[in-house]
Amino acid sequence: MLLKIAKTCQHRVSSEVDAMPRSVSAVVVGSLLCLLAGCSTGGSGGDQRQAIKLKVLFCNVESGTFIDANRDSVLSVGDSVSYRLAVARLGGAVQGCEQANGSFYGLEQVVERRVLKGETVFLTHAQGTLTFKDGNIQTRSLGSLQSSAAVTPSLESGALTLSLGDLFPSNHGATLIGQGGAFSGTVGSADFVSDTPPYALLKLHSQFGS
């Protein structure tokens, strides 16, 4: 009788021990599947943040300024160019540069001079601010300037005539930071496209989640 009870207890303990790995495995597999499927544990994840997508046309140059840092009377490393552009943020009644509704204030400092296919190009550290009635967006990028007939070899600090082609000779990317209004608390990226007219495709999202 005692032998039978001992065997019964041994069988129960063995069954429970055998069941434990299967139970733990089920939990682990379930957790992995939940992670792969994007299960929520309460609250909204970063992937659920709604993006703000904008297309902005750079319409014309309203003003330009040259800062000859080393006083050599030519555009060279260390010099800066600032400018103000009229822009059109597309959407609703605004379908082109005829309805310009904002401005872009840019500042570019030359960090390198290159000659590409016979054309002189100046690589820059560029920053700017897009201003609209409902908020501003700051941009930062590695940009470029291309000298044209309007940018003569003999320069002095002061007003400078620029074309859109000088400011957007090639495509480049930028990082974005929203500044107030509709763009407060947002960050993102942009693609600047060299075209006629040049334009930027912006994508912003809340840095705090939704």
Both 165 and 109 in one domain: the answer is: yes
CA distance 189 to 25: 42
pTM: 0.74
**Phi and psi at residue 205, to the nearest 5°:** -145, 160
Q: Among candidates 89, 93, 129, 125, which has minimal Cα distance to 110?
A: 125
Tell me how many domains the chain contains: 2
Q: What is the pLDDT of residues 99-150, one digit of tens each?
A: 999 999 999 999 999 887 788 889 999 999 999 999 999 999 999 998 764 4
Residue 13's domain comprises 2-39
The CATH number given to whatever domain includes residue 86 is: 2.40.480.10
Q: Among candidates 141, 156, 161, 153, which has minimal Cα distance to 60?
A: 161
Q: Would you list the DSSP string of 74-102?
A: S--TT-EEEEEEEEEE-BTTB-SGGG--E
Is residue 36 pLDDT above 50, yes or no? no
Both 113 and 12 in one domain: the answer is: no
Both 29 and 52 in one domain: the answer is: no
Q: What is the pLDDT of residues 139-193, one digit of tens each?
A: 999 999 987 644 555 677 888 889 999 999 999 999 999 998 999 999 999 999 9
Both 102 and 159 in one domain: the answer is: yes
Both 161 and 183 in one domain: the answer is: yes
Both 67 and 86 in one domain: the answer is: yes
Confidence band, pLDDT 50/70/90 cuts, at residue 49: low
Both 25 and 71 in one domain: the answer is: no
Both 188 and 162 in one domain: the answer is: yes
